[in-house]
């Protein structure tokens, strides 16, 4: 697949134009969500979970498909195991060096949840498990938090978190790289339930949406209808003396169902003698987190909390384990895990499955390859964990309270966002295919340009993206509308919120917190010929005093001190001539060039420096040193030639930058320019100076001198 990407890049001739979306998990499957996005030299990992139908290394995403050292950031949407459980493995057992982000409640619950996961993995016949508690603690230590509606800049990657509904703290992430916007929904729901609000609708239009497709083209029943059917089935089962098993994920749907049961039991006194047990210690411990983040829930919960704590349950008791359970009479037990693969839910299922009075209700999405999925096919018997087949006589029902988007939610969400590209993940192949076809037909009927993809695991989706930039013109630039197709010259300022504005530099203080400044460049050069010769050379180069070319004209005036002259070269550079001081021993004085840094001014200044150096004459004694060098080269005396070259370089540096001295023993030259000390090793070509700009100027001058001292190659003449 990498070779295909390279071919596409080569064909376009622009490596920045291809977005790669690569599922390492959740491609035509539900579980081990892990999506890699590459664009503009940046790599982002979206979620990092395990597959609930597999164990150990087999449950992990296909990490060997990429170099994890290249991943700049990992964004975790929520605390369910299929989205977060592989995080400590990646941070502790791979070469991943990127940043890890999740919301505040997600981080709080992930730590608690994965501690249980580590214990279960060790005790579940899987050896030492994927990682240790020490790995988990280290992963949480390096995890950063992000708030809803907050935008973080991760070094060229802008990340904004939005509410996803689904469970407490669940986030959708808008990822922006070089103007390309990709929205990853994770698991989301656009319909509020008893405790969670609906998912947000981002204001900015994404170019790509990576969206879950768990329920395909299915349509959820209205919430009120589902709740009524749920409590009626439970009421009927306990009324006939049966037991009701509710296999659930410890966090998320468990809290939703507890709120429903608590309200129903409160309204039906005849049920007060029927106990409700919650058999997850994790769910019990996490209640404190739910209480701490009431503000992240919906308005109903917030209003209820002003009267009493809605998560303080009167009719629900905690059950430590199946061994502590007095299995006598009708009851309702909410137990984990939701897929009936192991744990208390599996123990109770095997104990109750032969009694037709009992009932099991699958309230979450049943993943393929799990017992929960198998019993929905109405088998006459099931296999116990001991390998014994037993009859299945208890009633089996599926009433979905899974807070995943159905077809109407997904279709309306995409219609509102209008993305040109949609990548389907987190769904089984058959349902995903139906969803893809339905969304394509819907888009075609509305004449909406949209391309849909449903990649398998490790199958990359390659999407061309041509960057666009829209900016608002303000201030003096916006007072007069430019003609269509005409250019606008100004400063492009991008705000933290992602908006771009074009303005005149003088308007910066008015519209931003920025203030314009000037960088004044100064270059002093000693003259070894009369200034009249230098001035004549400048006038000839820049078209004379009356020149009208692009470089302007040269005007001579008296200097402010009354000494020498001031030349104005174009509109960019000022040259001040300072005659030699009496008794200084200098014959020509010096020329000082000053200009404000900028591309145009720098170009004029470079040309003026070259003209002045050419016309200023050689430093005193330089011709004699050159004669010595040539004699040494002719005689084959390399040491004498090197000493002569050191003298020549010292003289040239002194002519350009000011007084220079040489240490022949060390082979070093020392120059002081405007209080800045410069140490030069001409043989090695290194320059040491605290002032970066001055260091660069000396390095460039040294490079030119070395080139001038090289013997000419006349072999081709």
89: CATH: 3.60.15.10
Last residue of a domain, one of 398, 431, 449: 398
pLDDT digits (tens, 9 = 90+) for 573-588: 888 888 877 765 556 7
Residue 684, pLDDT above cutoff 90 = no
| Same domain flag for 215 and 229 | no
Task: Supply the angle between the helices 407-417 and 429-445 in degrees, to the nearest 10.
Answer: 50
Q: How many domains does the chain have?
A: 5
**Rounded Cα–Cα distance for residues 501 and 490 (Å):** 10
In the predicted model, what is the mean pLDDT of residues 33-49? 96
Higher pLDDT, 354 or 716: 354
* pLDDT for the residue numbered 616: 72
Nearest CA to 115 among 94, 92, 131, 99? 131
Structure tokens belonging to residue 27:
């491609």
Contact (CB, 8 A) for 230 and 442 = no
**Rounded Cα–Cα distance for residues 219 and 402 (Å):** 12
pLDDT digits (tens, 9 = 90+) for 13-30: 444 589 999 999 999 999
Nearest CA to 176 among 162, 158, 161, 160? 158
In the predicted model, what is the mean pLDDT of residues 152-173? 93
Evaluate whether residue 2 is within a structural domain: no
**Rounded Cα–Cα distance for residues 103 and 389 (Å):** 45
Evaluate whether residue 9 is within a structural domain: no
Evaluate whether residue 5 is within a structural domain: no
**Rounded Cα–Cα distance for residues 525 and 609 (Å):** 9
Last residue of a domain, one of 615, 631, 651: 615
| Same domain flag for 589 and 696 | no
CB-based burial label for 440 (10 Å; 0-12, 13-18, 19+): middle
Verify whether residue 404 is a known catalytic residue.
Answer: yes
Helix (H, G, I), strand (E, B) or coil at 174: strand
In the predicted model, what is the mean pLDDT of residues 251-262? 83
Evaluate whether residue 11 is within a structural domain: no
**Rounded Cα–Cα distance for residues 116 and 136 (Å):** 11
Evaluate whether residue 432 is within a structural domain: yes
| Same domain flag for 259 and 337 | yes
Evaluate whether residue 74 is within a structural domain: yes
**Rounded Cα–Cα distance for residues 300 and 98 (Å):** 39
Exactly one of 51, 207, 404, 465 is catalytic; name it: 404
Higher pLDDT, 397 or 542: 397
* pLDDT for the residue numbered 624: 56
Residue 480, pLDDT above cutoff 90 = no
CB-based burial label for 525 (10 Å; 0-12, 13-18, 19+): buried
Structure tokens belonging to residue 671:
């120059």
Contact (CB, 8 A) for 213 and 429 = no
* pLDDT for the residue numbered 141: 96
In the predicted model, what is the mean pLDDT of residues 107-117? 89
| Same domain flag for 243 and 205 | no
Band the pLDDT of 483: cuts 50, 70, 90: confident
| Same domain flag for 363 and 447 | no
Band the pLDDT of 560: cuts 50, 70, 90: very low
Band the pLDDT of 35: cuts 50, 70, 90: very high
Evaluate whether residue 266 is within a structural domain: yes
In the predicted model, what is the mean pLDDT of residues 225-233? 92
* pLDDT for the residue numbered 619: 63
* pLDDT for the residue numbered 617: 65
| Same domain flag for 213 and 230 | no
Residue 131, pLDDT above cutoff 60 = yes
| Same domain flag for 229 and 214 | no
pLDDT digits (tens, 9 = 90+) for 376-395: 988 999 998 888 999 999 99
Band the pLDDT of 140: cuts 50, 70, 90: very high
Mean residue pLDDT across the chain: 83
pLDDT digits (tens, 9 = 90+) for 614-663: 777 666 555 556 656 666 667 777 777 777 777 777 777 776 777 778 88
Residue 548, pLDDT above cutoff 60 = no
What is the residue range of 691's domain?
A: 622-709
The pTM for the full model equals: 0.63
pLDDT digits (tens, 9 = 90+) for 443-469: 999 999 999 999 999 999 999 987 766
Q: pLDDT over 70 for what percent of the chain?
A: 86
* pLDDT for the residue numbered 318: 84
In the predicted model, what is the mean pLDDT of residues 57-64? 94
| Same domain flag for 629 and 564 | no
| Same domain flag for 231 and 380 | yes
**Rounded Cα–Cα distance for residues 485 and 472 (Å):** 16
Evaluate whether residue 262 is within a structural domain: yes
């Amino acid at each position: 697949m990498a070779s295909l990407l390279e071919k596409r890049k080569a064909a376009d001739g622009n490596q920045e134009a291809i977005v790669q979306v690569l599922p390492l998990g959740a491609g035509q499957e539900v579980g081990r969500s892990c999506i890699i996005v590459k664009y503009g030299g940046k790599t982002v990992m979206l979620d990092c979970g395990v597959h609930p139908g597999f164990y150990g290394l087999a449950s992990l995403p296909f990490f060997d498909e990429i170099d994890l050292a290249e991943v700049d950031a990992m964004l975790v949407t929520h605390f369910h195991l299929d989205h977060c459980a592989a995080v400590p493995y990646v941070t502790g057992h791979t070469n991943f060096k990127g940043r890890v982000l999740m919301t505040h409640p997600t981080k709080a619950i992930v730590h608690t949840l994965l501690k249980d996961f580590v214990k279960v993995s060790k005790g579940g016949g899987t050896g030492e498990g994927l990682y240790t508690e020490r790995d988990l603690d280290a992963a949480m230590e390096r995890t950063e938090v992000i708030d809803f509606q907050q935008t973080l800049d991760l070094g060229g990657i802008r990340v904004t978190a939005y509410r996803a509904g689904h469970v407490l703290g669940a986030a959708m992430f808008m990822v922006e790289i070089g103007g390309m916007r990709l929205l990853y929904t994770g698991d989301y729901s656009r319909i509020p339930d008893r405790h969670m609000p609906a998912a947000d609708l981002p204001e900015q239009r994404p170019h790509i949406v990576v969206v879950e497709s768990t329920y395909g083209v299915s349509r959820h029943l209205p919430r009120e209808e589902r709740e009524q059917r749920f409590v009626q089935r439970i009421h009927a089962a306990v009324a006939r003396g049966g037991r009701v098993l509710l296999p659930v994920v410890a966090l998320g749907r468990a809290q939703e169902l507890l709120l429903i049961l608590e309200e129903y039991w409160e309204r039906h006194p005849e049920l007060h003698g029927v106990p409700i047990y919650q058999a997850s210690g994790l769910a019990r411990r996490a209640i404190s987190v739910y209480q701490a983040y009431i503000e992240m829930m919906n308005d109903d919960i917030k209003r209820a909390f002003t009267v009493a704590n809605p998560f303080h349950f009167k009719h629900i008791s905690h059950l430590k384990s199946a061994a502590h359970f007095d299995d006598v009479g009708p009851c309702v037990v909410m137990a984990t895990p939701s897929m009936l693969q192991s744990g208390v839910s599996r123990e109770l299922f095997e104990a109750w499955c032969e009694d037709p009075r009992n009932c099991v209700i699958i309230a979450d999405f049943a993943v393929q390859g799990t017992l929960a999925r198998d019993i929905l096919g109405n088998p006459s018997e099931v296999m116990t964990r001991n390998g014994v087949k037993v009859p299945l006589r208890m009633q089996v029902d599926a009433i979905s309270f899974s807070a995943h988007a159905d077809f109407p939610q997904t279709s309306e969400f995409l219609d509102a966002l209008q993305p040109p590209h949609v990548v389907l993940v987190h769904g089984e192949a058959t349902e995903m295919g139906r969803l893809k076809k339905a969304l394509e037909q819907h888009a075609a009927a509305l004449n909406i340009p949209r391309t849909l993809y449903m990649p398998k695991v490790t199958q990359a989706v390659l999407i061309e993206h041509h960057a666009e930039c829209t900016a608002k013109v303000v201030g003096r630039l916006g007072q007069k509308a430019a003609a269509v197709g005409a250019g606008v010259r100004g400063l492009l300022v991008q705000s933290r919120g992602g908006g771009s504005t074009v303005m005149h530099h003088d308007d910066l203080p008015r519209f931003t917190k920025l203030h314009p400044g000037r960088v004044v460049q100064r270059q002093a050069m000693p003259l070894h010929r009369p200034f009249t010769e230098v001035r004549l050379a400048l006038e000839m180069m820049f078209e004379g005093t009356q020149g009208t070319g692009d470089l302007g004209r040269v005007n001579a005036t008296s200097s402010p001190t009354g000494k020498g002259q001031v030349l104005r070269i174009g509109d960019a550079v000022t040259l001040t001539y300072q005659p030699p001081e009496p008794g200084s021993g200098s014959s020509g004085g010096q020329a000082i060039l000053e200009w404000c840094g900028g591309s145009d001014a720098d170009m004029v200044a470079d040309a003026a420096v070259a003209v002045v150096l050419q016309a200023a004459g050689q430093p005193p004694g330089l011709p004699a040193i050159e004669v010595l060098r040539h004699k040494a080269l002719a005689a084959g005396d390399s040491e004498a030639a090197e000493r002569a070259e050191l003298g020549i370089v010292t003289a040239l540096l002194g002519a350009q930058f000011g007084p220079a001295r040489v240490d022949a023993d060390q082979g070093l030259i020392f120059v002081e320019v405007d209080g800045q000390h410069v140490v030069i090793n001409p043989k090695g070509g290194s320059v040491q100076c605290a002032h970066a700009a001055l260091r660069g100027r000396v390095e460039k001058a040294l490079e030119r001198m070395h080139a001038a001292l090289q013997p000419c190659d006349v072999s081709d003449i």
